[in-house]
Structure 1
Amino acid sequence: MRFYQLMEFRSTADDAVADVHRFRDLMGDETTARRATVCVDRDDPGLIVQIVEFDSYEEAMANSEHETTQDEAAKVEESSGGVAFRNLDVVEVVDI
Structure 2
Amino acid sequence: MSSFIPGSILVSPYLNPGWALLISMAGGIISETGGVMSHGSIIARELGKPCIVSVKNASNIFNNGEKVYMNGKTGVIKKLQGTGFHSKPA
* TM surpasses 0.5: no
> What is the TM-score when the length of structure 2 is the normalising length?
0.27
- Bigger helix share: 1
- Bigger strand share: 1
Q: Greater CA radius of gyration, 1 or 2?
A: 1
Which of the pair has the greater relative contact order for Cα pairs under 8 Å at 6+ separation?
1
